[in-house]
Chain A
Amino acid sequence: AQKITQTQPGMFVQEKEAVTLDCTYDTSDPSYGLFWYKQPSSGEMIFLIYQGSYDQQNATEGRYSLNFQKARKSANLVISASQLGDSAMYFCAMREGGRAAGNKLTFGGGTRVLVKP
């Protein structure tokens, strides 16, 4: 079974609007971490946001927020006020075990976002 599922292979969003990227995960480990990375066309992987399984509040980093619904095993990324520079591939990833277990991440297949002016 897929451990990380991103069901949206690609999507368009209008500049200045918000966009939600879906991510569901599967793990039986009570301690885990969820990550979102951005990969622009240049290819580098850019860390966006992190949510720990025991974190009480949803993570936020500037225009990025993570809608963490633990019971539903979902960790959707919300990008507010989209900008042209947000056009990229976005990957959801999971680390099973606590931080001491090391960042052996399992990645989803990604969602390509194209921001329209």
Chain B
Amino acid sequence: DADVTQTPRNRITKTGKRIMLECSQTKGHDRMYWYRQDPGLGLRLIYYSFDVKDINKGEISDGYSVSRQAQAKFSLSLESAIPNQTALYFCATSDLKGKLFFGEGSRLTVL
């Protein structure tokens, strides 16, 4: 089983719908991240959390919200999806040595 698991892996939805992407990890790490990838732009940080009570906005947080339900779970929500949120979303964790562990990605298409 993967150390960082994302669900769903693929999702097609319509403009205005609420979408939640879930992430769970078995690494025991306190630090978790949500990144978004658009073609040609690399990955950009949406939100990050250093522990259950610590959540911070990243570079592109507008239109997104997160919830850290437990050390192992970090979910990303789009309250009202729009087409320019079509992208590949990655959840990641990191340990104190600095290495990031990525999930397999969630491909979201907003029509």
Contact = CB atoms under 8 A, between A and B. Distances in A.
Contacts of A108: 42
Contact of A103 (B42, B44, B98, B107): B98
A87 B28 CA distance: 32
Contact of B94 (A43, A102, A109): A102
Contact of A107 (B44, B50, B105): B44
A96 B104 CA distance: 25
Interface stretch (A44-52, A64-72, A73-81): A44-52
B104 A44 contact: yes
Contacts of B74: none
Nearest to B48: A104
A110 B42 contact: yes
B97 to A, nearest CB: 6
B99 A50 contact: yes
16 contacts: A4-B42, A45-B105, A47-B101, A91-B43, A93-B42, A99-B96, A99-B97, A102-B50, A102-B94, A103-B31, A103-B33, A103-B92, A103-B99, A104-B48, A104-B58, A105-B35
A-B pairs, top 3 by smallest CB distance, nearest first, are A107-B42, A45-B102, A103-B94
